[in-house]
Amino acid sequence: MTDYDSAKIAALHRELHSHLPSDPALRVKVLESLLVDKGMIDRKTIDSWVEVYAEEIGPKRGAHVVAKAWTDPAFKERLMADAPSAIEELGYLGVATGHLNVVENTDDVHNLVVCTLCSCYPFSVLGIAPNWYKTAAYRSRAVRDPRGVLDEFGVELADDVEVRVWDSTAELRYLVLPQRPAGTDDMGEADLAKLVSRNSMIGTDRDLAKYINGAD
- What pLDDT, in 10s, does the model give residues 50-84? 665 666 567 999 999 999 999 999 999 999 999 99
Confidence of residue 5 (pLDDT cuts 50, 70, 90): low
User: Where does 98-169 show beta strands of DSSP type E?
Assistant: 100-104, 109-114, 162-167
Q: How many structural domains comprise the chain?
A: 2
pLDDT of residue 200: 98
Question: What whole-number distance in Å separates Cα of residue 142 and Cα of residue 144?
Answer: 6
Residues 46 and 77 in one domain: no
Residues 81 and 152 in one domain: yes
Tell me if 73 is assigned to some domain.
yes
3-state secondary structure at position 1: coil
pLDDT exceeds 60 at position 14: no
Residues 44 and 82 in one domain: no
Known catalytic residue at 119:
yes
Confidence of residue 28 (pLDDT cuts 50, 70, 90): low
- With beta carbons less than 8 A apart as the criterion, state whether 215 and 191 touch: yes
pLDDT of residue 10: 59
Find the range with the poorest average confidence among 9-18, 136-145, 175-184. 9-18
Residues 66 and 43 in one domain: no
Cβ-based neighbour number of residue 73 at 10 Å: 9
- Nearest 5°: the CA angle 38, 40, 44 is 105
| Strand-pair partners of 104 | 177
Domain encompassing residue 34: 21-57
Confidence of residue 196 (pLDDT cuts 50, 70, 90): very high
Q: Which of 29, 4, 54, 20 is nearest to 198 (CA)?
A: 54
pLDDT of residue 64: 96
Side chain identity at residue 122, one-letter code: P
Length of the chain: 216
Find the range with the poorest average confidence among 33-42, 83-92, 190-199. 33-42
Among 6, 18, 33, 118, which one carries the catalytic annotation? 118
Confidence of residue 199 (pLDDT cuts 50, 70, 90): very high
Residues 119 and 159 in one domain: yes
Residues 44 and 77 in one domain: no
Confidence of residue 180 (pLDDT cuts 50, 70, 90): very high
Residues 98 and 158 in one domain: yes
Residues 102 and 194 in one domain: yes
Residues 104 and 73 in one domain: yes
3-state secondary structure at position 166: strand
Among 18, 48, 120, 140, which one carries the catalytic annotation? 120
Among 115, 168, 197, 200, which one carries the catalytic annotation? 115
pLDDT exceeds 70 at position 151: yes
Residues 42 and 113 in one domain: no
Known catalytic residue at 115:
yes
Side chain identity at residue 195, one-letter code: L
3-state secondary structure at position 143: helix
Known catalytic residue at 200:
no
